[in-house]
């Protein structure tokens, strides 16, 4: 798949922090690390990578637990996952890099800023902020007026059952998430959906990516110890999530630029790739 992208992309592996990470790299310039969300892989950036590669050395990583990277039994707290990326930056021969993360990748990016600021030049946080105590207030049973229901936050906390239910049937989950969290679900093609479903279909991947959510309790405890970060941050989100981000991010970061995404949903990288690429290039310089 990497070779199908314009810009001379190719797949590679690196063993860092005790895990073997898969990444796809291409382009020339300052390093730009891309971190995906759930339930996707590095491929969620495929529409923006060619444009970014004209300006940067683009490195799209499969997070531990996802895609073609290792799925260890533990290490899914975002402080550990941030160390994965900090060590990857050094392993690739850089002192520091720009980072853009979406969803879970955004959380890892913030933890990188909090724990390894020397490895980070600028950070783009797409769609979500780092978990804090407010996460404990999400409703199990939503009221009719609630704008959304994060049912998967609870589903992914359950041990073993999700693997039994989803293994070999992950296309149903992929389609539901994309169809219900996008304004234009057709922006993610059948091929894209098959890529995600194939990556997610194994028991180990389901367990590993659920580990991202099962570690939220530790992430919340870690967040309480962080001082506001100094790394320049671009925060981009849609609708309700933009309102939340615009209230939260300035409290936990000292240098924040905010951008509201309109006409798209949670997976706006794939709905509005040209806009996302332009905003990232404008921010990273």
Cα 111 from Cα 109, distance rounded (Å): 5
Q: What is the pLDDT of residues 204-230, one digit of tens each?
A: 999 999 999 999 999 999 999 999 999
* Residue 131 pLDDT grade (very low, low, confident, very high; cuts 50, 70, 90): very high
pLDDT at 146: 84
Q: What is the mean pLDDT of residues 107-121?
A: 98
pLDDT at 11: 97
The answer to whether the bond into 106 is cis (omega within 30° of 0) is no
Nearest residue to 85 via CA among 104, 64, 65? 64
Q: 234: helix, coil or strand?
A: strand
CB 24 within 8 A of CB 11: yes
* Residue 30 pLDDT grade (very low, low, confident, very high; cuts 50, 70, 90): very high
User: At residue 150, does pLDDT exceed 80?
Assistant: yes
pLDDT at 46: 97
For residue 258, what are the β-bridge partners? 235
pLDDT at 196: 98
User: At residue 195, does pLDDT exceed 90?
Assistant: yes
Ranges of each domain in the chain: 2-284
User: At residue 112, does pLDDT exceed 70?
Assistant: yes
* Residue 94 pLDDT grade (very low, low, confident, very high; cuts 50, 70, 90): very high
Phi, psi of 8 (to 5 degrees): 70, 45
Query: In degrees to the nearest 10, what's the CA dihedral of 86, 284, 57, 131?
Result: 40
pLDDT at 240: 83
Query: What class has domain 2-284?
Result: alpha beta
């Amino acid at each position: 798949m990497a070779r199908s992208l314009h810009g001379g992309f190719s797949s590679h592996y690196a063993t860092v922090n005790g895990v073997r990470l898969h990444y796809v790299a291409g382009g020339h310039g300052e390093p730009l690390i891309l971190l995906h969300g759930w339930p996707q892989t590095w491929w969620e950036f495929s529409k923006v990578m060619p444009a970014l590669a004209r300006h940067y050395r683009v490195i799209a990583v499969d997070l531990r637990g996802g895609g073609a990277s290792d799925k260890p039994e533990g290490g899914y707290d975002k402080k550990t996952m941030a160390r994965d990326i900090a060590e990857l930056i050094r392993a690739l021969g850089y002192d520091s890099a720009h980072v853009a993360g979406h969803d879970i990748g955004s959380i890892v990016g913030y933890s990188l800023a909090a724990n390894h600021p020397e490895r980070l030049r600028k950070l783009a946080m797409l769609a979500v902020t780092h978990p804090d105590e407010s996460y404990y207030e999400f409703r199990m049973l939503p009221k009719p007026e609630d704008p959304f229901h994060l049912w998967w936050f609870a589903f992914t906390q359950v041990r073993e059952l999700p693997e039994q239910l989803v293994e070999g049937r992950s296309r149903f989950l992929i389609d539901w998430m994309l169809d219900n969290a996008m304004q234009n679900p057709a922006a993610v093609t059948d091929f894209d959906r098959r890529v995600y479903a194939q990556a997610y279909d194994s028991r180990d991947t389901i367990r590993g990516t659920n580990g991202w959510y099962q570690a939220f309790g530790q992430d919340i405890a870690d967040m309480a110890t962080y001082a506001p970060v100094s790394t320049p941050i671009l925060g981009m989100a849609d609708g309700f999530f933009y309102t939340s981000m615009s209230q939260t991010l300035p409290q936990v970061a000292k240098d924040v630029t905010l951008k509201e995404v309109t006409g798209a949903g949670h997976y706006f990288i794939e709905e509005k790739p040209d806009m996302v690429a332009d905003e990232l290039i404008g921010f990273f310089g």
